[in-house]
Amino acid sequence: MKKIFITYWSGSGNTEAMANSVAKGAGENGGEVILKPVGSALADLVKDADALAFGSPAMGDEVLEEGEMEPFIASLSSADLRGKKLGLFGSYDWGDGQWMRNWVERMKGLGAAVDGDGIIAQLEPAKEALALCYELGKRLAE
């Protein structure tokens, strides 16, 4: 059974809804899912997972949420991520997804096997975006 660790930051619930769909897809495909809001003491969960999914809305000016998600991402090294399947997702509003393009490149730079281009949803995720998150979860559990 694959261990899938999913962590996210969400201020108004949009990215959280995406995280829940990733978790549902992974769980329904036989994965052992650990789903947690981002915070401290996550290093061992990252190391122990077979696959990862991280979610953050676009914040600041096209950056990750700066209080908790950015420090978490900054704490990761290529030893944690090299060759590991990683899904990225998040909600945005007025931008064009630049934060996600930057995030995908950053994680590829640490050697993660990033799934596609990341999944983005404007504000509250529509059912199409939630379906993409569900499919992502299924792939992560394969």
Ligand X SMILES: Cc1cc2nc3c(=O)[nH]c(=O)nc-3n(C[C@H](O)[C@H](O)[C@H](O)COP(=O)(O)O)c2cc1C
Binding residues (CB under 6 A) for ligand X: these are 10-16, 57-62, 91-95, 123
> Which alpha helices (DSSP H) does 1-51 contain, by range?
14-28, 43-48
Instruction: Pick the closer one to ligand X by CB: 67 or 109.
Output: 67
H or E element at residue 54? strand 51-55
Closer to ligand X by Cβ: residue 39 or 95: 95
- 44 or 61: CB nearest ligand X: 61
Cβ proximity to ligand X, 51 vs 121, nearer residue: 121
Q: Is-contact 136 87, C-beta < 8 A?
A: yes
Least separation in angstroms between residue 112's CB and ligand X is 22
Residues pairing with 43 in the sheet: none
CB closest to ligand X, residue no: 95
The distance of closest approach from Cβ of residue 1 to ligand X in the complex, given in angstroms and rounded to an integer, is: 29
* Smallest distance from ligand X to CB 69, Å: 10
Q: For the residues of 65-121, what is the DSSP string, one character each?
A: -TTTHHHHHHT--HHHHTT-EEEEEEEESSS-SHHHHHHHHHHHHTT-EE-TT-EEE
Amino acid in position 100: M
